[in-house]
């Protein structure tokens, strides 16, 4: 492998160094550990050209990620499309806008969510630390990503999920042969149990004892946004928040690119999106505090249903320090958001994406996001996994006889129904 930026775990609060090991908590002050890099050593070595010469996936940024020496990545994760979204923008702004983009991780490979990015980095480290079994606590997407990528690396997987998870996400984990354990509780119960299991079993839990490495994978969303915008930073980023990690790591990525001189420094506002039924970070931002009051989740946006978000403190602080804001939307608005993105841009996202799209609309209405500003809407998962959310939204159409005349009649019938609907809406 070519140049790799030196990295190690450090406690953010007391600055104690821990080298590299499967550890997430400082055993002196019990604060979280973070991966620190010697970014300056990469100056002049990691360049736009060196990145461009890399593969069309997250590994093009391997020099800026905690990838162990000797690890040979073979899975083309990430480098998802950043698409201009003029039709969505026309819905958002009266005069439209050419400056709205969707970062589309609904098509992130191999399991159709941004979690493939974090799992790729976590499992590279799991292999390096010699774990034979890996696992995670998950609201679904992470379960899918861990199960699929574990197979690819010849690791056993044990996945813990809340019992009420969407059937598609459960099936999409079991199909890879992973051991799946449904826990009678919500995500916060599952996560707490996993931290105890990680203490007792010699397993690599991607979001527990491998978490500092795992979460660095989210930086690749930020690297890609900047590169795909033509090596510049946007004005606004709208990010869904569950644990609150992704939004932080996008900011960290932007900061590293600035430090390396690959993009010009500029203020970027970070906006967080949550469902009202689970909105502890949004509540904290609105209350101008970084004290997170935990909530009992009650929302269809299960992939964001973390009532006690581990990175909530940092996410709230970050959002407020950048001049951004956080908003939350009802389940009804979540569904409308899914439909709006699909109808305008041809992107079918899961409930979390419905949250992000509807929150973006709300932020525009509040005047916090303006048409002349470059705005990135981060879509993190695929709608095929949460089709339950759309149950009953579309009528089952009657079958039409295979004759041209019947087809023509049927079209007329549909047209008249839609006219009637328009008239109802107009009144």
Partner 1 sequence: MPIKVILPTAFTKHTDGKKQLDSNAKDLAGLVVDLETAFPALGANIKDEDGKLRRFINVYVNDEDIRFIGGDGYAFQDGDEVMLIPSIAGGCF
Q: Supply φ then ψ for residue 356, to 5 degrees.
A: -65, -40
> 49 or 200: whose CB is closer to partner 1?
200
Least separation in angstroms between CB 14 and partner 1: 9
Distances (CA, A) of 381 to 104, 214, 352, 399: 8, 18, 7, 33
Q: By CB under 8 A, name the one of 60, 127, 211, 269 that touches partner 1.
A: 211
| Region of 270 on the Ramachandran plot (φ > 0 left; ψ -120 to 50 alpha; else beta) | beta
Q: Name the DSSP class of 144.
A: H
How far is it, in rounded angstroms, from Cα 238 to Cα 41? Answer: 31
Nearer to partner 1 among residue 3 and residue 30 (C-beta): 30
Member of 99, 125, 191, 358 binding partner 1 (CB under 8 A): 191
- Binding pattern for the stretch 241-280 against partner 1, x by CB under 8 A and - elsewhere: --xxx--xx-xx----------------------------
Q: Would you give the binding string for partner 1 spanning residues 299-338, x where CB under 8 A is met?
A: ---------x-xx-xx--xx--------------------
Single out the residue of 189, 229, 286, 289 in contact with partner 1 (rule: CB under 8 A): 189
Least gap, CB of 117 to partner 1 (angstroms): 15
**Shortest distance (Å) from residue 144 CB to partner 1:** 21
Asked if 109 is part of the footprint of partner 1 (rule: CB under 8 A), the reply reads no
Contact 166, 385 (CB under 8 A): yes
Among 102, 113, 91, CA closest to 350: 113
At 16 the three-state DSSP class reads coil
Query: At its nearest, how many Å lie between partner 1 and the CB of residue 316?
Result: 10
Confirm if 187 and 306 have CB atoms less than 8 A apart: yes
C-beta separation of 192 from 198 below 8 A: no
Helix (H) or strand (E) holding 18: strand 17-19
What string marks each residue from 11 to 50 as x (binds partner 1 by CB under 8 A) or -?
xx-----------xx-xxxxxxxx----------------
Closer to partner 1 by Cβ: residue 209 or 349: 209
Figure out which of the listed residues 166, 188, 256, 328 binds partner 1, where binding follows CB under 8 A.
188
**Residues 47 to 66 in contact with partner 1, rule: CB under 8 A:** none
Residues in contact with partner 1, total (CB under 8 A)?
Answer: 43
First to last CA, the chain: 65
Sketch the per residue contact string, 148 through 187, with partner 1: x for CB under 8 A, - otherwise: ----------------------------------------
Distance in Å, CB of 218 to partner 1, minimum: 9
Q: Which member of 40, 293, 332, 406 binds partner 1 (CB under 8 A)?
A: 293
Q: Which long-range contacts (CB under 8 A, 24 or more apart) does 80-84 make?
A: 80/104, 80/105, 80/107, 80/108, 80/224, 81/107, 82/224, 82/225, 82/228, 82/229, 82/376, 83/345, 83/347
Residue 106 phi/psi, 5-degree rounding, is -65, -20
Nearer to partner 1, 312 or 354 (CB): 312
CB of 274 to partner 1, least distance (A): 17
Query: How far apart are alpha carbons 315 and 247 in whole angstroms?
Result: 7
How far is C-alpha 241 from the chain's CA centre? 8
What are the residues binding partner 1 (CB under 8 A)? 10-12, 24-25, 27-34, 188-189, 191-192, 195-196, 199, 207-208, 211-212, 215, 243-245, 248-249, 251-252, 291, 293-294, 296, 308, 310-311, 313-314, 317-318
């Amino acid at each position: 492998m070519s140049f790799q930026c030196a990295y190690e775990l450090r406690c953010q609060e007391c600055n104690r160094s821990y080298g590299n090991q499967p550890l997430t908590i400082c055993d002196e002050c019990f604060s979280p550990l973070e991966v620190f890099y010697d970014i300056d050593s990469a100056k002049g070595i990691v360049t736009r050209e060196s990145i461009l010469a890399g593969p069309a996936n997250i590994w093009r940024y391997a020099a800026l990620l905690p990838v162990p020496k000797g690890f040979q990545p073979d899975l083309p994760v990430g480098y998802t499309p950043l698409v201009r979204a003029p039709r969505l923008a026309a819905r958002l702004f009266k005069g439209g806008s050419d400056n709205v983009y969707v970062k589309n991780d609904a098509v992130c490979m191999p399991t159709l969510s941004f979690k493939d990015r974090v799992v790729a980095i976590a499992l590279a480290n799991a292999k390096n630390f010699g774990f034979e079994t890996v696992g995670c606590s998950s609201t679904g997407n992470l379960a899918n990503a861990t199960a699929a990528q574990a197979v690819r690396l010849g690791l056993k997987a044990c996945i813990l999920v809340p019992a009420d998870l969407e059937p598609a996400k459960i099936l999409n984990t079991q199909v890879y042969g992973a051991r799946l354990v449904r826990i009678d509780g919500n995500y916060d119960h599952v996560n707490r149990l996993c931290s105890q299991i990680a203490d007792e079993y010699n397993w690599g839990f991607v979001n527990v004892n491998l978490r500092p490495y795992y979460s660095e994978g989210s930086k690749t969303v930020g690297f890609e946004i900047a590169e795909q915008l033509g090596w510049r930073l946007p004005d606004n980023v709208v990010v869904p928040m569950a644990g609150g990690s992704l939004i932080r790591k996008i900011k960290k990525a932007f900061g590293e690119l600035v430090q390396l001189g690959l993009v010009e420094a500029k203020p970027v506002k970070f906006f967080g999106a949550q469902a009202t039924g689970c909105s502890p970070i949004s509540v904290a931002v609105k209350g101008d505090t970084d004290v997170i009051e935990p909530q009992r989740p009650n929302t269809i946006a299960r992939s964001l249903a973390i009532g006690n978000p581990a990175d909530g403190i940092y996410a709230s602080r970050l959002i407020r320090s950048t001049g951004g804001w956080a908003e939350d939307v009802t389940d009804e608005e979540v569904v409308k958001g899914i439909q709006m993105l699909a109808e305008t841009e041809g992107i079918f996202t899961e409930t979390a994406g419905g949250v992000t799209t509807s929150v973006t609309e709300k932020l525009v209405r509040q005047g916090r996001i303006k048409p002349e500003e470059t705005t990135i809407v981060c879509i993190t998962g695929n709608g095929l996994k949460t089709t339950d959310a759309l149950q009953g939204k579309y009528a089952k159409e009657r079958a039409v006889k295979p004759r041209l005349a019947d087809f023509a009649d049927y079209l007329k019938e549909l047209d008249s129904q839609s006219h009637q609907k328009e008239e109802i809406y107009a009144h």
